[in-house]
């Protein structure tokens, strides 16, 4: 981010108390990416999405950079079941839209309607050992036994790692398709998908 653009952003919003708060949100989004929340999206069903910094985002034709949801990172994701497909149970985090895909015969949460789950640290450190789930949207979908799923351009992947760029810069999301009540997006750098209430 170049300093002149930052200064201009701040000046633009800092002419009132409300403006200062908005300027801070805007700055935070410029640095870390926009905030997402499925609980807010479900209240605004059908309306065009707008970040709390004031910027319209998550359109179907432009890329959106989103930040990590700190509460999910610290406390774990809160999941509900949204689908059964390709021999897998699929879940989504009610806050950040993080999905989970478990093969039906290896799903430790199959009897739960809502549960909290943290990411598996060993997978985060050393990479996910993945199996193929489906091919769609000109991409190949994979899942690890920890439940983490990815959409990748390459077929026959056995392992997927989280690139450092996503840890520091957030995810760069593009729309893929509507799935049930959700719009699905995927990150061009890591293949991570997200579901946001449409
Ligand atoms: Zn924002
Ligand atoms: Zn989450
Ligand atoms: Zn994993
Ligand atoms: Zn990413």
pLDDT, tens only, 66-118:
999 999 988 999 999 999 999 999 999 999 999 999 999 999 999 998 999 98
How far does the centroid of ligand 1 lie from the alpha carbon of residue 13, in Å? 14
Share of the chain above pLDDT 90, in %: 79
pTM (2 d.p.): 0.87
State the residue for tokens 């790692």: 161
Cβ neighbours of residue 53 closer than 8 Å, sequence gap 6 or more:
22, 25, 26, 28, 29, 34, 35
CB atoms within 10 A of CB 194: 23
- Residue 133 Cα to ligand 3 midpoint, Å, equals 14
Residues with Cβ within 8 Å of 143's Cβ and at least 6 positions away in sequence, in order, are 88, 101, 102, 103, 130, 131, 133, 149, 150
* Ligand 2 midpoint to CA 118 (Å): 9
Domain borders along the chain are 1-32, 34-197
How far is the C-alpha of 193 from the C-alpha of 25, rounded, in Å? 25
How many whole angstroms from 50 Cα to the centroid of ligand 1? Answer: 8
Query: How many angstroms separate the alpha carbon of residue 26 from the centre of ligand 1?
Result: 6
Mean pLDDT across the chain: 91
Q: How many angstroms does the Cα of residue 167 sit away from the middle of ligand 2? A: 15
């Amino acid at each position: 981010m170049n300093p002149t653009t930052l200064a201009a952003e701040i000046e633009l919003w800092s002419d009132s108390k409300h403006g200062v708060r908005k300027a801070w949100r805007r700055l935070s989004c410029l640095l870390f990416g926009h905030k997402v929340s499925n609980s807010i999206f479900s209240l605004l069903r059908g309306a065009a999405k707008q970040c709390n910094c004031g910027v319209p985002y998550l359109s179907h034709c432009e890329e959106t950079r989103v930040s990590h949801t700190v509460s999910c990172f610290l406390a774990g994701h809160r999941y509900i079941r949204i689908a059964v497909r390709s021999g897998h149970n699929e879940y989504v985090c009610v806050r950040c839209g993080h999905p989970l895909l478990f093969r039906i015969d290896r799903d430790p949460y199959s009897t739960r309607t809502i549960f909290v789950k943290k990411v598996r640290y060993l997978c985060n450190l050393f990479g996910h050992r993945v199996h193929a789930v489906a091919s769609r949207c000109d991409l190949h979908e994979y899942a690890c036994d920890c439940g983490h799923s990815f959409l990748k351009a390459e077929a026959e992947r056995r392992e997927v790692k989280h690139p450092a760029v996503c840890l520091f810069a957030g995810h760069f999301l593009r729309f893929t398709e509507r799935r049930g009540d959700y719009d699905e997006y995927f990150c061009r750098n890591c293949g991570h998908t997200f579901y946001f209430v449409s």
